[in-house]
Amino acid sequence: MPKYRRILLKFSGEALMGKVSYGIDPEMAQQIAQELQELNSMGIEIGLVIGGGNIFRGAGLAAAGMDRVTADHMGMLATVMNALALQDALERFNVFCRVMSAIRINEVCEDYIRRRAIRHLEKGRLVIFAAGTGNPFFTTDTAASLRAIEIGAELLIKATKVDGIYSADPLINPNAQFFPKLNYDQVIEHKLAVMDATAIIMCRDHSLPLRIFDMYKAGALTRIIKGEDVGTLVA
């Protein structure tokens, strides 16, 4: 029996890069879609937030001299492209899916309307929340915590390249300590690089548990949904 009925899953844009150095690796999109199809077929209601860092990040463009707000608009549009790629991959696995954008772009996808999003979920459709929060100076991590709270998700799951939260980057420092469980304030206080502070504070203030896991571990998502202790829990 699954432990959770409705979840919000956050993937960074880089998750879609797979073997390519920029943009979207269709093989990676298929791989993610296949895992999601399994959860969907278990009857889990899935909301998805996808980043845009594989295409554009506002801060990076601004550092190169671009106006920050324009740069963030480009970043948000990048997340729409990723959302469309994932929608396409999911549909090839016969998962009913809707992209809902925080920026109006009606020829391409639906607008984000909370009640409609919840209705889609209730009907078993996977909802991809695109364009972040719709506002510059925010991140898709914050969009993930915001949407999770709005739709009443029981768990926010963030897919990363490492299998949880460590005291330092384990890919650089082999002596980094692994934390199976932390509270929100520990993450904020020790500036543990897991999600930006705004996102963590939103989770804390609304008692939304957060789990960090390694997206490259096959079957990890399903184990999380069944209630197994995979990765790090922040609660």
Residues that bind ligand UDP (CB under 6 A): 12-14, 51-53, 57-59, 71-72, 75-76, 78-79, 132-133, 135-136, 138-141, 143
DSSP per-residue codes, 138-165: --HHHHHHHHHHHHT-SEEEEEESSSSE
| CA 160 – CA 220 distance, rounded (Å) | 12
Tokens of 83: 């959302």
140 is in an annotated binding site: yes
166 is in an annotated binding site: yes
Please, what is the minimum distance in Å from the beta carbon of residue 81 to ligand UDP?
11
145 is in an annotated binding site: no
C-alpha of 148 from chain center:
10
57 or 211, CB closer to ligand UDP? 57
Hunting for tokens 């994932």 — which residue is that? 86
Instruction: Look up residue 70 and give its amino acid.
Output: T
| CA 195 – CA 205 distance, rounded (Å) | 15
96 is in an annotated binding site: no
Please, what is the minimum distance in Å from the beta carbon of residue 221 to ligand UDP?
17
47 or 53, CB closer to ligand UDP? 53
Taking only Cα atoms into account, the Rg of the chain, rounded to an integer number of angstroms, comes to 17
Please, what is the minimum distance in Å from the beta carbon of residue 103 to ligand UDP?
9
Binding-site positions read: 10-13, 52-53, 57, 72, 133-140, 160, 166, 169
